[in-house]
Amino acid sequence: MEFGDGRRDVVDPEVRAYVSSLVTALGGSGADEDGRYVLGDDALACLRDLKKWLKLYDEKANRLDVARCLAESNLVGGDLLQILAAWPENATEDRLKSKIALACLELLVPLTWPLEKDTQAMTVNHHRHIPYLQIAQLGYKRAIINFDGARILHTAVRCALPSMAEAMGDRSTRDEGIIKLLLYFVRNIAMIAPPPNVQYEGDEAEISRSATIDAFDYQDILHLLLTVSSTMGEEFNTQDVVVLDILFHLIKGVDIEKLFVDEAKADNSKIDELKRLRQKEASMLRSYQVNAPTRHNRFGTMAWMQREDSKMTTISGQSAIMDSTRSLAKMDSTKKFKPPRKALKGEKGPMDFDTPVMLNVQANKHLRTFVEDFLDAGFNPLFSHLRKAIDREAERILEYHPRQFFYLVSWFLEAERVRRKSKVPSKGQKPEEIDNYSLVASVLNQEMFVTLNRAMEQTFENKSWQDLSAAMKCFTQILLTVQEMSESPLEEDQEIAENILSRIFYEETTHDRIANLTRTYKDQGFGYLDSCTELAHHYLRILEQYSKQNVDMQVRSRRRIRRKKKAARADGEDDPNDDVDDSDGEDEARAEKVSRDRKFDFKRFASRFVTQGCVDTFVTFTAYYNDLKPAQLKRAHRFFYRVAFKQDMSVMLFRVDIVALLHKMIKGPEGLDPQASCFKEWDELVKQVLKKCIRKMQERPELVVEMLFSKINSTAQYLEYGYEKQTASAK
Amino acid sequence: EKASKAALDEEVKITRKPQAPRVKLDEDRLLSAAGIPKLRNKAKHHLKFKGKGHEYSDTARLLSFYQLWLDDLFPKARFLDALAMVEKMGHKKRMQMMRMEWINEGKPRPDNDDLF
């Protein structure tokens, strides 16, 4: 069809005619019926025809023409939602109405289905329609979660209730299909968000995460999720991946610390935050003002710098005459050349979990309640079920599911830890009343470690960095949980934790892998950088603590084991090869030896992190210092401290760019905020490192050249100690 | 009319001066007289530190020392960019051999008794 101005319609006119006549025949509202929506005579057939159009035209021919027509004719807002809203709660038994509602759901799911780009199958039509459809889907989501007349999502659940009520074994294929349809509908709604390159023109608040969570709470979707996940394996089986998908899109990027702050405290902390941010801004402005010109911009100062060989460099602007550092900085800033640089890789689409999301107070409250309920009831059944499915590579597990799985496990483990912290332990609590860690036990077993290790291995080999990032986050949280377990007052928890820790401590492959991950960072994006430095930091820290465990504690733990075995023996169980008979004195000697060995092992392990690659990774991380949180800055601080003073290899830090970074952090311009809490310890560290550096340069003049380069270990050894490393010791 | 057609058919030759070769910060430049030899020389004679208590001012001096040297060697790049480029050069075989040589120069001579 040709328009008057010569444009051509993007859709085949015949298709458009058919589809719009179907939409018209579906029903409508008129003045005669007080504006109520009245179904057309053959509404059900119309709905089925529309579904056929979507399936047989769009899907078969791989076009999006029908979806486009439906978006233009406002089918969702104008008809489907009206029809669903007209299905009253008390008419659930009405066969025809429930059939029609189900038919609406069957249309809604394909219409809200995520549009994927960058597939091989994309045609001209996709390129033409996808931008329009993405915006249209935002409109669908807004209409669905903000619908005034009725709870649309709740109505959708009602469509599937009869099927869900059946026992798992008795369900027909159709029942399974309906349940899946409902869950995918919820998934789609949770997933729809403005694409990263598009500015949404409507009210963002209507489709934001907060709005989604509020709607899910109000329409009882959160209850649905709880029910399905807590009975996973009993009532539900293959639905686990969809639930995983929904949970992922619901909580990705949510800050857990903020989630668990009390409301009263939240108000206070908001005021504090405002204060803090204003202080930060003020200090930023101050640092600019120190360098700002004191006169107007046409004042025309010109300075020159006398260089050797009677060379001169001219610099304009008042900042040039303040001091030599400023003039050098000015000279640098006028240069135009930029070396070619690779863009950072990183996920920007719906699978991105590194972009932080803000929630409003209401949504925060709802989500928090949900998370607590989920931890209490749904965590173990859902995640152990999923882990098994991943392990046996079930058909329903798609490529992105392991990533979501590991991310969610890490997220909920952290949530559990934060929740424990926020619970104030009452005084005089008996040990029996303290919760043990059984709520999250399903991800602390040996099978999980196997899965996790394999995932880290594979994703590293395949260079799928986002998956690896999620797995690293998961491992970090498991480590932190185990560490907290080892400090729990319950003996049982302590014992489990000790077992896990000792296994990790002696697992060389894991050591190698983690050192390797830290060493090989190269433009994988900030999210990845954050996960791998976090893992390295906690791994080192926890193993160090384990290696330092004092003799006394080990004696105690041996005694505990002995006592247990004795009890077991008393019960009549006989274990032929146990060493119960060693006495207390032997215990101590043995413990001393063990702790000595462990110290040595740890030292050897920690030395793997004193390579230039690891140092470079942490330097790249530290370069973001103005955007890092205090905990992240602390991580970098501890690492440098370890390299320079614990491992005595400060030479690794003596490189001009690292020295320049450290100097800039303290002395600016645009340095760390001097009022910040961590400034002092950084100041101290930097001062010590620089002091060593200057001293070393005087001691060994050849360092002047080596300051420019990454050092290989043997030269570093020589520069640090003045002798080569002895590879074979003479007898 | 014929003449104009012929003029049209005549091939238009475009002559372009060959572009001046781009200046690169490579090993040759780094090892030339203005490169690392000069850096070593300058460091020996001009780089002085105040020592204890003046860590930051000493470091500032050190940084400007390197910055001026790099500005002379490769004026078009910014300080940090040039540093990264130099660092990359350090992985080349030839550079590594030279680096070893410079380090060995500074090492104390082993006593002859130890050799056998």
ipTM for the whole complex: 0.83
Is residue A307 helix, strand or coil?
strand
Q: How far is A120 from chain B (nearest CA, A)?
A: 38
* Among candidates B64, B85, B102 on the partner chain, residue whose Cβ is nearest the Cβ of A325: B64
Could you tell me which of A206, A706, A619 has the C-alpha nearest to residue B101? A706
Q: Does B33 touch chain A (CB under 8 A)?
A: no
Give the residue-averaged pLDDT of A328-347. Answer: 84
Mark yes or no for CB contact B60/A325 under 8 Å.
Answer: yes
Residue B72: both structure tokens together: 């002379």
Model confidence at B17, pLDDT cuts 50, 70, 90, reads: confident
How large a percentage of chain A has pLDDT more than 90?
39
User: Any CB–CB contact under 8 A between B67 and chain A?
Assistant: yes
Residue A436 confidence class, pLDDT cut points 50, 70, 90: confident
B92 touching A, CB under 8 A? Answer: no
* DSSP conformational letter for A93: T
The amino acid occupying position A264 is A
Closest CB from A663, A697, A706 relative to B99:
A706
- The reported pLDDT for the residue numbered A650 is 83
Q: How far apart are CA A37 and CA A31, in angstroms?
A: 10
Q: What is the pLDDT averaged over residues A131-135?
A: 90
More confident of the two residues A586 and A536: A536
- How far apart CA A534 and CA A469 sit, in angstroms, is 11
Q: Greater confidence, A172 or A350?
A: A172
> What is the largest distance, in Å, between two alpha-carbon atoms of chain A?
107
Distance, CA of A327 to CA of A315 (rounded, Å): 7
Q: Does B48 touch chain A (CB under 8 A)?
A: no
> By C-alpha distance, which of A654, A645, A641 is closest to A697?
A654
pLDDT value at position A110? 93
The pLDDT tens digits of the residues spanning A369-426 come to 999 999 999 999 999 999 999 999 989 999 899 999 999 999 999 999 998 888 766 5
Looking at residue A474, its pLDDT comes to 95
Helix/strand/coil for A601: helix
* pLDDT confidence bin for B115, thresholds 50/70/90: very low
What b/e readout covers A698-718, taking b as 16+ CB neighbours within 10 angstroms?
eebebbbbbbbbbbeeebbbb
Best A657, A706, A718 residue to mutate vs chain B (most B CBs within 10 Å): A657
H or E stretch covering A725 = none
Amino acid at A45: A
Question: pLDDT class for A40, splitting at 50, 70, 90?
Answer: confident
How near does any CA of chain A get to the CA of B28, in Å? 16
pLDDT band at A431; cut points 50, 70, 90: low
**Contact yes or no for A698 and B43 at CB 8 A:** no
Residue bearing the bigger pLDDT, A227 or A596: A227
Give the pLDDT of residue B116. Answer: 45
Enumerate the H helices of A347-464 as residue ranges.
Answer: 361-373, 379-391, 401-422, 446-462
**Most confident stretch, A12-16, A131-135, A409-413, A723-727:** A409-413
Interface contact A325-B62, CB threshold 8 A: no
Mean predicted confidence (pLDDT) in A34-41: 83
pLDDT at B47: 77
Closest CA to A359 of A184, A230, A216: A216
Residue of B nearest to A722 (CA): B107
Choose among A317, A663, A241: nearest CA to B63: A663
Mean pLDDT of A121-129: 85
DSSP annotation of A434:
S
Mean pLDDT, range A69-84, rounded to an integer: 90
Answer with the residue of higher pLDDT: A669 or B67.
Answer: B67
One-letter amino acid of A464? S
Q: How confident is the model at residue B43 (pLDDT cuts 50, 70, 90)?
A: confident
Q: Is residue B89 very low, low, confident or very high in pLDDT (cuts 50, 70, 90)?
A: confident
- What are the helix (H) ranges across A463-520? 465-486, 491-505, 508-519
Interface test with B, best of A705, A706, A712 (most B CBs within 10 A): A705
**What does the alpha-carbon distance between residue A594 and residue A592 come to, in Å, rounded to a whole number?**
5
Position A673: which residue type? D
Q: Do B80 and A337 touch (CB under 8 A)?
A: no
Check whether A654 has a pLDDT greater than 70.
yes
Instruction: Work out the pLDDT band at A103, boundaries 50, 70, 90.
Output: very high
Give per-residue pLDDT as tens, A112-124. 999 887 777 788 8
In terms of pLDDT, which residue wins out, A655 or B11?
Answer: A655
At A212 the pLDDT is 93
CB pairs under 8 A between A and B: 113
Max mean pLDDT range (A90-104, A550-564, B66-80): B66-80
Q: What is the pTM of this model?
A: 0.88
Q: Model confidence over A277-329: pLDDT tens digits? A: 898 888 888 878 877 888 888 888 888 888 877 888 888 888 777 777 888 88
Gap between the Cα atoms of A559 and A582, Å rounded: 10
State how far the Cα of A509 lies from the Cα of A518, in Å rounded to an integer: 14
Element (H, E) at A304: strand A302-307
| Banded model confidence at residue A708, pLDDT cuts 50, 70, 90 | confident
Q: Are A416 and A488 in contact (CB under 8 A)?
A: no
Cα–Cα distance for residue pair A665/A685, rounded to 1 Å = 11
Q: Tokens 């520069």 belong to which residue? A: A719
Structure confidence at residue A555 (pLDDT): 64
Contact indicator for B83, B70 with CB cutoff of 8 Å: yes
By C-alpha distance, the chain A residue nearest B71 is A332
Show the CA angle centred on residue A161, arms to residues A160 and A165, nearest 5°: 125
Q: What is the pLDDT of residue A731?
A: 37
| Average pLDDT for chain A | 85
Mean pLDDT, rounded, for A720-725 = 70
Neighbours of A274 (CB within 10 A): 10
Find the range with the poorest average confidence among A186-195, A357-366, A440-449, A575-584.
A575-584
List, as one string, the DSSP characters of A527-561.
Answer: HHHHHHHHHHHHHHHHHHHHHH--HHHHHHHHHHH
Among the residue ranges A108-117, A136-145, A578-587, B26-35, the one predicted with the least confidence is A578-587
Nearest CA-CA distance, residue B16 and chain A, Å: 24
Beta bridge partners of A315: A303
Q: What residue of B is the nearest CA neighbor of A708? A: B87
pLDDT at A560 over 80: no
CA A117 to each of CA A62, A114, A123, A364: distance values in angstroms, whole numbers, following the listed order: 13, 10, 10, 32
Predicted confidence band of residue A696 (pLDDT cuts 50, 70, 90):
confident
From chain A, pick out residues whose CB is under 8 angstroms from the CB of B72: 307, 311
In one-letter notation, the amino acid at residue A206 is: E
pLDDT score at A730? 41
Average pLDDT of chain B to the nearest whole number: 81
B14–chain A nearest CA distance, Å: 29
Quick check: A435 and A375 in contact, CB under 8 A? no
- Enter the tokens of residue A42: 């053959």
Q: Is B77 on the interface with A (CB under 8 A)?
A: yes
DSSP class of A303: E
Residue B113 distance to chain A (closest CA, Å): 17
Q: How many CB atoms lie within 10 A of CB A425?
A: 10
Residue A306: count of CB within 10 angstroms of its CB: 8
Q: Which of A657, A668, A670, A654 is nearest to A706 (CA)?
A: A654
Write down the pLDDT at residue A7: 59
- Contact between A143 and A77 under an 8 Å Cβ cutoff? The reply is yes
Give B3 to chain A, closest Cα distance, Å: 42
pLDDT at A269 over 80: no
Where does the pLDDT of residue A451 fall: very low under 50, low under 70, confident under 90, or very high at 90 and above? very high
Query: Is A701 in Cβ contact with B43 (below 8 Å)?
Result: yes
- Which residues of chain A does B40 touch, with a Cβ-Cβ cutoff of 8 Å? 701, 704-705
**pLDDT higher than threshold 80 for residue A138:** yes
**Rounded-to-integer distance, Cα A406 and Cα A68, Å:** 36
Tell me the backbone φ, ψ of residue A302, rounded to 5 degrees.
-135, 130
H/E stretch holding A314 reads strand A311-316
User: Residue A176: pLDDT band by 50, 70, 90 thresholds?
Assistant: very high
Going by their DSSP bridges, the two strands A302-307 and A37-39 should be labelled as unpaired
Asked if residue A337 has pLDDT above 50, the reply is: yes
| CA distance linking residue A369 with residue A687, whole number of Å | 47
Enter the tokens of residue A450: 């196997």
Residue A528 neighbours by CB under 8 Å, 6+ apart:
A346, A465, A466, A468, A469, A521
Tell me the one-letter amino acid at B96. Answer: Q
d(CA A478, CA A451): 13
Q: How far is A333 from chain B (nearest CA, A)?
A: 7
Q: What are phi and psi of A128, to 5 degrees?
A: -75, -40
Is A657–B64 a contact, with Cβ atoms under 8 angstroms apart?
Answer: no
Among the ranges given (A356-370, A576-590, A714-728, B85-99), the one the predictor scored with the smallest mean pLDDT: A576-590
What's phi and psi for A27, nearest 5 deg? 150, -175
Which residue would you say has higher pLDDT here, A93 or A124? A124
CA A41/CA A422 separation, integer angstroms: 59
SS (H, E, C) B50-77: CCCCCHHHHHHHHHHHHHHHHHHHCCCC
Tokens 């007209």 sit on residue: A86
Q: How confident is the model at residue A432 (pLDDT cuts 50, 70, 90)?
A: low
- Distance of alpha carbon A570 from the chain centroid: 50
